[in-house]
Structure 1
Amino acid sequence: MNRRTILVSIIVMFAVIGFVSLLVSQPQYLLKQFLFLVVFVGLIYALYQFMMKGKLNKKEQQAFLKAARKSKKRMQKKHHSHHSTSSQKRKPLRKRSHAHLTVIEGKKGKKKNRASS
């Protein structure tokens, strides 16, 4: 064992001895100190959350809110268009071809000269 682990072991041993002796001799003082520590840490945490609330992830929060608004508008349009078309007669949907084909002009009209080939 090196010196550092021995030193840490001695400090932990003294802490345990002090805690047990305080628990036996003055339990109400120990409870009071523990409650004070919990309240103090809670106040520090609440203050930290309050101060950092607006600073952390502000851009991400704004992007999320913007996306939520767009999604809400899209859903409202979808919902609104669904109700308006159901009351009217529906027109038959024409299938659209997504293939963009072009005609390449070739030598279709000319006949092959079979004697030369």
Structure 2
Amino acid sequence: MKKLRASILGIDSGDEILFEDFEDGGEMWTGRGQRERRRRIKFSERYLSTPTVHLSISLWDMDAGTVLRADVAAETVTEKGFDMVFRTWGDTRVARIRVAWMAVGELEDADTWDVG
């Protein structure tokens, strides 16, 4: 459990189209085996400490003729941002993916004095 001590709680969010591979025959649509896409997401403000980041697929456009395999993760989370990562494998064909994210953490409070 993460305990927050700051008097200001920051919640940042977004919804990102990670790729659209059906339009240009990209590897998520035409490839096989292990495949990955990542995008660096920057927060609108710097957090005081590493925030908790939650991801969810908000749109998936996949070929129904193959098994649907997908993994979405937030990696290398820092006070400034994180890597949004989508992975698939096998013969799964992914046309496009949109991922919603939310980060929750402490923000610096200008009214708090550092007397230490």
Which structure has more helix as a fraction of its residues? 1
In the superposition, the TM-score normalised over structure 1's length comes to 0.17
In the superposition, the TM-score normalised over structure 2's length comes to 0.17
Where relative contact order (Cα < 8 A, 6+ residues apart) is larger, the structure is: 2
Which structure has more strand as a fraction of its residues? 2
Which has the higher Rg, Structure 1 or Structure 2?
A: 1
